[in-house]
Amino acid sequence: MNRNTLCTIYIVRHAETEWNAIGRIQGQMESSLTEKGLGQARQTAEKLRDITFDAVFSSDLLRTKRTAEIVKLDRELEVVTKEVLRERTYGRGDGKMIEEWRKETRHLLEQYQKLSEKKKWRFKFDEGYESDEELISRFITFLRETAIAYPNKTILIVTHGGVIMTFLAHIGFAKLSELKAAGFKNAGYLKIQSDGVDFFLKEIEGYQKNNK
């Protein structure tokens, strides 16, 4: 590992939205930030105020782009939006209340819980649902391409909770089931470094392991 070629990447989850607040599945649908969410984004902006970013990327969904605009503060950097950074789609579950979706898929959730960790990565709750394997494939590809394109630079990426938790499971931070049970706070973030192949977790702010 050549430390001089490592890319430093801050991966931020978007701040709280109206649908987060009421327990509605967003997936790839749109929902605006709440007042609380705007405050969360400003708090994260303050935490990262002294970081010199060389580029800013976000999912093309409005909640992430708005969070990115706040977190980057007055840095004169364009927020480059990428569809590949979107949250997973839940297929027909997008837009449904979480409790309603859980009731409808209870038999599938029970089936999912019995699977090995490996099989859980490929599991789909319906035809339109994006599996963890599909989600991490597109995200990891983007991270590796970014690390190679920006050696010895610092990058800000604003994405979604499902993306971040799946990434943490991928790098071995915790099991996928543990991460999904715990969650990741709105406007929380990771600091990682990458040489374009491997990923090294340096800091985590927002993992709710003891606060389910």
pLDDT band at 211 (very low <50, low <70, confident <90, very high): very low
182 has pLDDT over 90 = no
**H helix intervals, the chain:** 18-22, 35-47, 62-71, 98-104, 106-113, 117-120, 132-149, 161-170, 176-182
Handedness of CA 12, 138, 65, 182 (dihedral sign): negative
210 has pLDDT over 60 = no
User: What is the reported pLDDT for 180?
Assistant: 80
Can you tell me the distance from the alpha carbon of 175 to that of 171, in angstroms, rounded to the nearest whole number? 10
pTM exceeding 0.85: yes
Which residues are known to be catalytic? 14, 87
User: What is the reported pLDDT for 153?
Assistant: 97
Tokens representing residue 183 in the block: 């969650």
141 has pLDDT over 90 = yes
Can you tell me the distance from the alpha carbon of 111 to that of 123, in angstroms, rounded to the nearest whole number? 10
Can you tell me the distance from the alpha carbon of 42 to that of 15, in angstroms, rounded to the nearest whole number? 9
Of all residues in the chain, the percent with pLDDT exceeding 90 is 86
Handedness of CA 82, 126, 119, 179 (dihedral sign): positive
39 has pLDDT over 50 = yes
pLDDT band at 179 (very low <50, low <70, confident <90, very high): confident
User: What is the reported pLDDT for 22?
Assistant: 96
Residues 56-80 pLDDT 10s = 999 999 999 999 999 999 999 999 9
